[in-house]
């Protein structure tokens, strides 16, 4: 059995953090009922798209599904229900009454306005675990402030620490706030489900992007660094030691971290510069002369292939790796052996799209690997409403005619 088999999740989230969180829950075996607007949103329509005839397209082909959506909606049941319609809200509340988990990532208070807040739904289902994902949290003086990934990187201090000391602050190359918050939300949900086994009650799980990135920043002693006058941004280096940097090679770059004197001595031998080990014999002396240490390494690495530089550093037992593109990294035998990436497929297509999507990056017996492709909008609406809400054909026809469902 998968870890969350038998757990039902009602998901009214959008964009990245919420859908990614519920993808993780689906990957653990939960049945995720993904509530979508009956009218396809930008999440389904932004190119590149998976063509229902197979392959990929950038054109607005009827039935095409956006690749990011195709990744995050695997293993979920698609229900087209209009949350702004009174009948739609009634149906969602009825689904939540029989569910274990409810996930939303709207502006704080929006679900209360729909009568779908934690207080509303938990009064009808005391065992419900209700997860609210937001930019700044459900409380405090600023819950309504609009949030996007790069904005939260800036607000948390994360962006100020990214980049070079003589350059501007930089955002991370991926939506790290969205992705990490999705992960913590899933962790909170799983923990709340475990707590429910002891108490018999669900609870509100409040996860904020600002909280998550703030915890990342303050995992290190940034206040101590400020007292010592160390730069906020250090690029690829680390003011606490050397060699810790990314070094130019004849055909690319290699990132390396030397943490011991033995590694440094072995690297100096490998570079044909044994005298450097005597000149900078310990971490303190190397940290004080980090620019000279890095210059000596780059004078050697700059004339050699990155693969050879990497091999020499690894032979010195120094952690090192070539800077690879995502496509190069995906082709690495280690990545392939771990089975993290799988071909994406439109549910109506016989062949894969040619794009890859990640599985849940945890290898254990409780992971559900055989996830169905993302469904066409509204594929499961009628089946789920019949099964879980008790709607008959006449009621479904009326709801469709009223525009509450698709």
CA 51 to chain centre: 25
Backbone angles phi, psi at 221, to 5 degrees: -85, 65
d(CA 137, CA 388): 31
Name residues whose C-beta falls within 8 Å of residue 381's C-beta, 6 or more positions apart in sequence: 78, 79, 80, 81, 405, 406
d(CA 304, CA 252): 10
Q: Are 245 and 296 in contact (CB under 8 A)?
A: no
Q: How many CB atoms lie within 10 A of CB 361?
A: 11
d(CA 262, CA 215): 33
Catalytic residue among 82, 100, 149, 178: 178
For the question of residue 120 being annotated catalytic, the response is no
- Which tokens go with 6? 């038998």
Q: Are 386 and 380 in contact (CB under 8 A)?
A: no
- C-alpha distances in Å from residue 70, one per residue of 152, 376, 392, 406: 26, 10, 30, 20
**Residues belonging to the active site:** 178
């Amino acid at each position: 059995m998968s870890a969350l088999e038998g757990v039902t999740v009602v998901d009214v989230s959008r964009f990245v953090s919420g859908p990614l969180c519920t993808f993780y829950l689906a990957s653990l075996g939960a049945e995720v009922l993904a509530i979508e607007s009956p009218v396809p949103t930008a999440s389904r329509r932004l190119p590149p798209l998976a063509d229902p005839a197979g392959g990929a397209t950038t054109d607005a082909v009827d039935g095409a599904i956006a690749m990011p959506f195709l990744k995050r909606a695997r293993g979920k049941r698609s229900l087209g229900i209009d949350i702004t319609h009174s009948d739609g809200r009634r149906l969602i509340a009825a689904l939540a009454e029989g569910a274990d988990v409810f996930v939303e990532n709207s502006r704080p208070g929006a679900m209360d306005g729909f009568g779908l807040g934690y207080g509303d739904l938990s009064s009808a289902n005391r065992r419900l675990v209700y997860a609210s994902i937001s930019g700044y949290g459900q409380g405090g003086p600023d819950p309504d402030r609009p949030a996007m990934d790069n904005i939260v990187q800036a607000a948390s201090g994360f962006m100020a620490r990214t980049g070079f000391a003589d350059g501007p602050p930089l955002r991370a190359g991926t939506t790290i706030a969205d992705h990490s918050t999705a992960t913590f939300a899933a962790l909170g949900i799983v923990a709340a489900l475990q707590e429910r086994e002891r108490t018999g009650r669900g609870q509100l799980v409040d996860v904020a992007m600002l909280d998550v990135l703030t915890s990342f920043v303050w995992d290190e002693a940034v206040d101590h660094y400020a007292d010592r006058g160390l730069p906020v941004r250090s690029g690829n280096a680390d003011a606490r030691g050397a060699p810790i940097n990314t070094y130019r090679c004849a055909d690319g770059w290699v990132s390396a971290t030397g943490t011991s004197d033995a590694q440094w001595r072995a690297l100096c031998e490998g570079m044909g510069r044994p005298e450097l080990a005597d000149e900078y014999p310990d971490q303190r002396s190397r940290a004080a002369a980090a620019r000279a240490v890095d210059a000596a390494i780059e004078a050697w690495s700059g004339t050699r292939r990155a693969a050879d530089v990497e091999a020499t550093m690894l032979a010195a037992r120094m952690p090192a790796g070539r800077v690879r593109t995502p496509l190069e990294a995906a082709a690495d035998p280690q990545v392939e052996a771990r089975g993290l990436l799988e071909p994406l497929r439109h549910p109506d297509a016989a062949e894969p799209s040619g794009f890859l999507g990640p599985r849940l990056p945890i290898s254990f017996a409780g992971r559900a690997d055989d996830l169905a492709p993302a469904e066409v909008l509204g594929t499961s609406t009628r089946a789920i409403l019949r099964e879980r809400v008790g709607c008959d054909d006449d009621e479904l026809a009326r709801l469709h005619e009223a525009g509450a469902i698709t």
